[in-house]
Structures are given as structure tokens and as C-alpha cells.
Amino acid sequence: MEASRDPGRDPRSLLSCVNGFHPKALVFVSEKRCAFAAGKLIVEMDVESKKQRFVQGHSATVTCITHSEQQALGASGQVLRSGAKWAEVLLWDSESLEICACFSFHQANVEAVGFVQDGEVLVSIGSDRDRTMALWPAAREGCFRIGRKEGVPLAVCSAYKGGAISGIAAAPGSSDLPMLFASYGVQHIKFWRSPRSGRLSQAIEGRRGAFGSDGVPKMILCAVWVSRDRLVAGGNNGEVFFFHGSRAVRKMEPQSSPVACLLPLRESLAVVHGNGMCHFLHGGKTTDVEFSSVAGWPGPRFRTQLVSGAWKDRQLLLSSKTHLIYLDLSNGLPRATCKPLVSQPAAALTSVANHPVAPRIYTAALDGLVRCYDVKDMTQLEQRSFHGSSQGVTCLAISGAADEESSAWLAVGCSDSTLSIMSENSYQYVLRRTLSGSKAKLTCAKFSSVDMSGKHPLWLAVGTDDGCIHTFRFKEPCCRSSAYTGMHTGEEVVSKVATLRGHEAPIVDICFADTLPCNYLISADLSGKELAFDVPMARRLPTMTLVREVPFHPWTLPVGWQMQGCKVDKKLPRVHEISGRQLIAVATDVIEVFPFPCISPPSIHPLRLEGPSAPIASLLFNPMNDSLLASSDTALFVWSWETEAQARLPLSPLRSVQESETPDSRKPQAFTPPPRPRVQVQDDQSRSGIGKPRPKAVGIAKQYLPQNTMLDEGQIDVVSSEFSSNHSIELEGVSSVGKSDLAYLDTVTLFHEQLRSCALLYFLGVTGELCESPGAECACRRQASREENAAGDVLTNDRQLSAGLRNSFVGVVLAGRARALVSTRLSLAGNALPKRAQRPPQVHTDAFPTPEEIQLQTIAIARSPYKERFGCPRQPTVTEGVVGGEAADCTLEFHREEKIRLALQDLEGFEFIWVISYLHMNEGWSARVTPPRGPRKKRGLFATRAPHRPNHIGMSACRLVSVDTEQLRVFVRGLDLLDGTPVLDIKPYVPYCDSFPGAKAGWLDDLDGADGRDHLSYWPPPESTLHVLKGPGSVWIIESLDYIGYHWITMIFIALSHFTLHQASAPCCMSVFWSKRSQAFVSIFQG
């Protein structure tokens, strides 16, 4: 996952857990590790700790998986992606999980893969009409690789033209023996042999197995070799066939359930059926063991029939549509131990909801079940799961939590238009009603914010497939278990208020206003239409402008002015705001993370979260563990931010709006913004008293805390009464800032008495009230402060500020333990700043004056190994011929547009290209600069190639390596740009018009004549050892300075200063004199 592309997001988000699997694609990697397919991923799981790792690289749903213990390799096949020519087969290392090879051959879905010849050969079978089978060299070394071209199969033939293939089974034996394996599936089993071992000089021979007089079974589900000439196969009717050679010599009578797995043991055989019954065959006797009686086996309410399995020695892995189960048979079948590893619904997931206090989540699915999971290890809590409907549950919502004597409300919507409202703790119904006479499906449900004082009511809104929104009002904000002991449908508990109309398409999502009382909700339908409603008055508002300044949190609508910059396909996406991070997740077939609000398209590609292969049905951000959850088909994907990122914050991230103990003073009061014109603020020197215009900007101050640092719980007081000349404000109450005396001012509200304006700096927990939840999480409610100044300008919370206001403050907390100084830079409204990567926003006070605004569009992003400016070469040719490294290989990742694909055609014939870029890390510019070469003399900016230029435009000439028009990537060598630099344009390098060999280079000609061409490099760092020698007098000589830049000399300078200060009582100063490239003289002067 490339996580450093966007400066506006936390780059440390990772895929942490996948709760879902493909029931027929599983395998053992070792005795304690298994692997299974989930979406586009291969998930490797430790069966003891349930820790997961992932193989990423597939572009579509993974269908089959296999593993070779001898070669420590795994292989997996996928479906044919829409628009692709081939369905890929990936070969990956089972230890590092890195991709080793990609085989592109099959023009249909890959049905089966398997290793043969001790893992030296990989067999893959496609689902085309001929069931094409291809054999590939898989071993890193061996005879099958001699004289073979990469990407070309060893042999190709038709596996079986009569139906689907279920799997491949390799016969035991070393690779020196002739090749022998079996493929099986619909009404057949086929034995494949090669005439001799070693290289495949002839096509392999296949012979169908003979089942005897009883006829061919309908389907062979599994097969296993017990010796080189004996094979056992299981059918869909529960029969078991024993083959000697290619003929069945014995048959076990059919059973009531199909065969799920065959486990060969020493001198015995275990046959596992779909109903959980295991037949243990030993010495002509049969012993029956029922796995459902083993401790830990899933309950009958939630389990389904077993369909597949895998084995490793005496370890057994069984799968059904709903469970992945691990059994340890080391102590024998009667004393087997069981552990469910993963549980999922039998049908597609439709909705996900999290408990606001307890560490658990609920999922709804079309199989009619509501499942509860523990968020720590995603273990299903069967005692808290229940059957919601026989028609399928389509939406789910949980209200804010309550105290110990009460519980939250749980709303369950079904596909037959039935709504059930119950206690989340006891599951006692208080309402169960059909909302639509036409049985329209319920599509979404949302609760409003909770006011525990009971002054303001709790609301529930439910959207339907026919475009209606049904609203309900609750008598109390929480469910008191002692008060409600049975079914209640009267006015004393919950009552339906109105049916809001106006949409003509199915409702996609609903958002309540984050105010108390909750007066507004907005909704969006499948056609993209957005409407606003007054909830208490049950009326539709004439325009969305009336609620533009009303806060809605978390934002889940796929439309709105906040989402204008999120470019997605025509299909309406699923979205969810990531609370506390100013990000929003947008999901269609993939998930992308944008800054929020996203008013204009970002200049670089948003972060893409890989994993799901089916469309995303629901998105949810869980603030309890700072994770994003997405449901795709039957799988649930979880992305969590690292704990290191959380430790840097003074308190935990903000919780969602639906919380417990929300007093009236902690929510912004509901209001209807008056439609009045904006008033220009005039300078008022008599009011300020300092003879300067009054600053009016607000913003966010951000620095970083050292790890394990917490701030005081007390209030931080404002000491200064006015902005000083250097725009600083003194604060008190930061006595526990830490050793480095730095504080992260993330949510402080500073009120300036004289200017009557609000600077929203947002400091978590500034009011001194810390909310301690059972998960030891601390959070505070967001506070939107509105104060109208003398000129009539209205300042609202950060969600309504323009881009220039949001990024105008840069705060630094310096100085002592009891007092702190917040230094700021102020900018006027509307001065939007260019976006930068991994740096705090800064103000350009010396911007180059232009007669008009020019808008440029980025076409690509540069990917290079240079992460910092001081590690980047000065010029594209600066790294060529340098000791210790060559020119770096870089990639230009273009936007995925068809126009870009056409524009890249015919480029590959050029040897060099020009790359025009936007130098996004610049911090303004100066008219005269000091070049890094030659004497320390300032020169005019336009006579140098300094990167700090008026419009931040860069131009680089680099070697073109290759062009990938499918993935829209251009591979270059010798690029001198930072990783993540936006690219504005590329042009081919044409020698007859771009090269002038005899041209003069001004002051550089004299420098080149004296010292030679510049060939120094900052990257990679030098590996040679520096020698410091004591020279005459106070001169120190530093040797071995080949290819060492100015910043390495600065480090030596500081080190020598520290050494000298310990030997001299008087202060010292130092000066560095450059000489040759192999030496530098450092003179030390005392006094």
C-alpha cells in the first residue's frame, strides 16, 4: 500500500484484518499456518494467534489456491477481470508473501491450480469450453527451467471437455520419477502421466478413470493419494471410491451428505462428510465420530454444511459457507480439539454498525441473521447474534449508548419492509411494523445525536426502496431494561411521526444534523438527488442552501458540496467520514481516501485501499479502535491506523456523534442561517489601538508530541489580551508538556476579547472533562463556536471554512514548563495555499504577482526513492557515474483516463523525455540565491537552476526505460524529483532542437573550468569512513570527502564544535573552508 501520496492524510493506514473467505480455496502453509482466499487477497493466518498477513497482487477475485512445502511456494488463480485478456496465475513465496512470477495464459476463469513433481511444476486449468490445462516451471532451479522462456508453458492440452474441474491431486514421490497427477470434477477423474521424468519432450498422456458397473458419479468433490498407485476419491452423494491405477476396485456406499474432505493417516483413512460426521477407516473397521459434539464447534443456529477441507499431518482445516474451522487430531479423533478461525454470513453483507462504547460490531446479511463480533479478534459472539428476518436484513442502526442501567436502541430493517426496534442489550422488541404497503425494501437507517438530559428527543429515520423516509421519535434517549419487559407499540416508547417524500429513486443514505435539538436531516437517492428536511415540522426545505452551515457528522452522503472533488465513476459510491482525521472514504469497486471536505479534485492520486473484489455494500468508521470497515460480498475488510500514530496524540480520536452522556452544552445549537450579504471588514485602528489592520483569519495549529506524552487535564488559559506584533498568544497551564517542550495543539478554542473573533485551534480535552469509556478511550465533543464581530462577519467551525482559512495557522509551542508561546502566521480569507506533502501548511508572503489566475491540472505522480529534499539529487545527471550508486529507477503513475492512455502511444521510441513538474515542497522564493557550487556568492534566481522558483515549476531530462499503457505507467531512470511530486506534463527529448553543444553557460563555465563538472551526489549516503586529523595551530583536517555534500560537512562541523566546547572554557565559533574534493580544513577560533 503506497501510503505517502497525499499530504492531507495519515500515511500509516494498513489492512489489519479480513473476516471472510472463499470456502473452496484454502490450504495449509505449515502446521500452524493456513492460507485462504478472500476477495483479491490471499490471507495467511496463524491458527493459534489468528494474526493475519496478506498476499496482494491479484486484480480480480481469487478462485483457487495451492501450496508446495518442498519449494516453499504458493500459487493462486483468479477470475477473468472485465476488459482483461487473460486471467492471471500468481506464484508467491510462502515465507515473505512476495510475488515471484505471474503467468498470463488462460482466457477464462482459472478453475484449479496444483503443484506436481515436488513443486517443480505448476498445473493450471481454465474454465473455457476445452478446460485448457497449462503446465508451468515453478521451481527456482531445476531441469524444467533449462532452456525455457519466461512466461511460456511447458505443455498445453485439454483437461476435460465435459464439465467443470474441482481440483488437482499430485501423486507422492520424488521429482526423479515420471510425472503423475490426477484432475477430477463433473462425472470424471482423469490420470495424467508423462513418459519419462525430466524435461517434457512430449505431450503428457491422460486417461479417464473407470468407476465400475455402478456408473459414473455426478461429481467428484475431493481426491487424495495414499500411495503412488492408489487413490481415494469422494463424491457428491457421500460415496467413496478406491482406485488402483486408473480403475476403481472398491466403493463405499453412499451417505446422506457429500464428502467434504479426505484425510490419509498412517494405515487408516478419515472421511469427513458435509454434516460433520467423520468415518474413521482402519483395518476393515469403521468408527464414526461426530464433529458437532466436539467442544468449540459452531452452534446449529449459524453453521451450514461443510463443503471443503485441507490437511497437514494430523491438522485438519474444514470450511463451510459460514465457518472456517481448525481441528487438531494429534490425540486421535475421539479427543480432537476444535477452534473456529473465521465466521461469515452465508449470503451477502448489507450493513455494518458499531456499538459506541463496547468493543463490538453488528453485521446484517441477506441470510436473515444479525451477527455480533468482538472487534479485538473478530470472533463471533453467538450469544449476542440472532435471527432478524427470514427475508433478509438490509439495514442496521444503533443509537448512542447509555449508563450501566440502560442500553442503546437497535433498529433492524428487512427486505420485506419490516422494521424492528429493540433493546441492544436484551433484544426485547418495543416496535415491529411493516412500513410500506408495497413491501418496499428498507435501504438505510440512522439515529440522531443523543441528549442524555432528556430535554431533546431521539430521532430515527428509515429510507425505503420506493423513495420514502419514515421518521420515528423516542420518548427516552436510551432503553431502560427495567421499564420495558415486553412488546410496546404505543406512544409511551416510540411513535412514528411522518413519512417524508420528494425522492423518486431508492434512498441511498441519510445524515442527521450534529446539533441539539436535531432539527434537520439530509438524504440522497440512487439518482444522485439530494434533499433537506425539517424533522420536527415534517416538511421538505426548499433549498439545500438553508442547511449549508449546519454541521452534519459523520458525513455519509455520496453527494454534496463537500464531495465535489471526489471523482468517481457514474455509479453512486458509498462514503463515510473518518472522524478526527479530516478524511473521507469513497467506495465503489475500490476504496479511495480523500481529504474532507473535498471541494476540488486533489492534485495527486488519493490513497487506494486494496482487497475487496466485489462492490462495497457498506462503509463504517469505528472510532473505538480507529479503523475503517468495508463489507464486500460476504467478507468484512478492516483497515486500522497504527498504534504509533495514536500514541502521538494527546488524547484518543474523536468518537462518533452517537454517544452517551452528551449534555446540551456540548452540541452546537440548532439554527437557521439568516440569508444576509457578506460585509467587507474595514480597518479599524482606533479599536485595535496598535495602528495595524485587524487580523481575522482562523485555522488549525499542528505540531507533534513526543511519544508517551500526555497533557494536563486542566484548562489552558489565554494570558495575552491582544495579538502582538509577531502574531503570538501566551498560554498558561501546560506544565506537563514533556521534555522536548513541544505540544500538539489539535483542538483549542481561543477567544480574543478585543477583536471579538474566534480562532479555532482545536485542542482535545481543553475543557478539562475527560470521558472515560470501558475501552480506556478519552474523547471530547467537538465545539462549534460562533461569534459575530463588529463588522458583521460570521466565523463558523472548521467544516465551513475556506481552504485558505483552514490552512492559515502554523502553531509552535516553545519555552517553559508553566507557560507557552503560540506563534502564528495570519492570512486573509481566500488566500488558498498550494498543497504539500508531509509538511505543515505555510504561507507564501512573497508570491509572484501575476495578472490573472492560471489553473493547471496534474497528469501523473512521480514515484522515486527520494523521500526528503536533502536526499534528492540536484540535477537529473548528478547520480550518474557516482561511486556507491547509479541513477535511480523511478516511475510516473498517470491518472487512469482513456485520454491519457491514448496520449502515451508512440512515446516508447524516444530515449529521453522532459518531465515538467510542480515542486510542491517549496516554501516561497527569493530574487537572489546562493548556488551549492563555487564560492558562497548570491546570484540572480533566473541565472540558476534553484528549485525555489516563483511558480514552483521544475523541468527534468531523464532516460525513458519503458511505457506501460495498460497500467498507465512510465518507467524512467535518473529523475531528480521527490517521491509524490505532481507531474504537469511530459515531452520527448529531440536532439536537433533540445541540444546545443557549443552554447555558453555564463558563470558556470568559469566554475567548470576550475573545478570540473558537478558530479557530487547526496544519495545514497557515503559509505566511506571520515578521518579527522589535527593540523597545525587550530586547524583540523577532514580527509576522505569524496562525493560528500554540504549537509554531511555540517554534521562534522557540529561534531567538532561539540568536541571543542568540552576542551575550551570560552565560547567557540567555527568556519569551514572548502579545498579539494578529498579534504576540508576546519579552523576553530576561540572567543
- What does the pLDDT look like over 698-747, one tens digit per residue? 333 333 233 333 333 333 333 333 333 333 344 444 333 332 233 333 32
Instruction: State yes or no: pLDDT of 148 exceeds 60.
Output: no
Q: What is the pLDDT of residue 184?
A: 96
**Same domain, yes or no, for 812 and 870?**
no
Residue 882 vs residue 209, higher pLDDT: 209
Given pLDDT bands bounded at 50, 70 and 90, which one contains residue 167? very high
CB atoms within 10 A of CB 566: 23
Q: What is the pLDDT of residue 1062?
A: 37
Q: What is the pLDDT of residue 365?
A: 96
Boundary (domain end) residue, out of 984, 1011, 1038: 1011
Q: Is residue 525 part of a domain?
A: yes
**Same domain, yes or no, for 898 and 822?**
no
**Same domain, yes or no, for 388 and 489?**
yes
Q: Is residue 1035 part of a domain?
A: yes
Instruction: State yes or no: pLDDT of 292 exceeds 90.
Output: no
**Sheet containing strand 121-126, strands side by side:** 110-116, 121-126, 132-137, 155-158
**Into how many domains does the chain fold?**
5
Instruction: State yes or no: pLDDT of 181 exceeds 70.
Output: yes
Burial (CB count within 10 angstroms: exposed 0-12, middle 13-18, buried 19+), residue 562: buried
Q: Is residue 636 part of a domain?
A: no
Q: What is the pLDDT of residue 404?
A: 67
Report which residue type is found at 1026: L
**Same domain, yes or no, for 1007 and 1051?**
no
Query: What confidence tens digit (pLDDT) does each residue in 31-49 have?
Result: 899 999 999 999 999 999 9
For residues 373 and 330, the answer to whether their CB atoms sit within 8 Å is: no
| Tally of residues, the chain | 1087
For residues 544 and 530, the answer to whether their CB atoms sit within 8 Å is: yes
Q: Is residue 155 part of a domain?
A: yes
What average pLDDT does this structure show over 473-488? 69
Closest CA to 838 of 871, 865, 867: 867
Q: Is residue 1063 part of a domain?
A: yes
**Same domain, yes or no, for 535 and 416?**
yes
Q: What is the pLDDT of residue 239?
A: 93
Q: What is the pLDDT of residue 475?
A: 87
| The dihedral formed by the CA atoms of 543, 547, 549 and 551, expressed in degrees to the nearest 10 | -150
What average pLDDT does this structure show over 304-322? 92
Lowest mean pLDDT among 350-359, 864-873, 976-985, 1062-1071: 1062-1071
Q: Is residue 278 part of a domain?
A: no
Q: What angle do CA 117, 119, 120 make, to 5 degrees?
A: 70
H/E element holding 134?
Answer: strand 132-137
Boundary (domain end) residue, out of 194, 221, 248: 221
Instruction: Count Cα atoms within 13 angstroms, Cβ side, for 965.
Output: 11
d(CA 260, CA 272): 6
Q: What is the pLDDT of residue 140?
A: 67
Residue 576 vs residue 776, higher pLDDT: 576
d(CA 249, CA 225): 15
d(CA 440, CA 606): 37
What average pLDDT does this structure show over 312-319? 90
Percent of the chain with pLDDT over 70: 67
Q: What is the pLDDT of residue 952?
A: 86
What average pLDDT does this structure show over 1007-1036? 50
Boundary (domain end) residue, out of 796, 816, 843: 843
Q: Is residue 111 part of a domain?
A: yes
**Same domain, yes or no, for 871 and 994?**
yes
Given pLDDT bands bounded at 50, 70 and 90, which one contains residue 331? confident
Q: What is the pLDDT of residue 61?
A: 95
**Same domain, yes or no, for 892 and 925?**
yes
Q: Is residue 599 part of a domain?
A: no
For residues 826 and 697, the answer to whether their CB atoms sit within 8 Å is: yes
**Same domain, yes or no, for 984 and 1045?**
no
**Same domain, yes or no, for 472 and 555?**
yes
**Same domain, yes or no, for 738 and 824?**
yes
**Which residue range is the domain that position 720 belongs to?**
696-843
Lowest mean pLDDT among 314-318, 568-572, 936-940, 1061-1065: 1061-1065
Q: Which residues pair with 37 in a beta bridge?
A: 42
In the numeric block, the cell 487473460 is attached to: 86
Instruction: State yes or no: pLDDT of 932 exceeds 50.
Output: yes
| 934, three cell numbers | 563555487
Q: What is the pTM assigned to this prediction?
A: 0.62
**Same domain, yes or no, for 389 and 357?**
yes
H, E, C per residue of 149-201:
CCCCCCEEEECCCCCCEEEEEECCCCCCCCCEEEEEEECEEEEEECCCCCCCC
CATH code for the domain of 161: 2.130.10.10
Q: What is the DSSP string of 982-993?
A: EEEEEEE--HHH
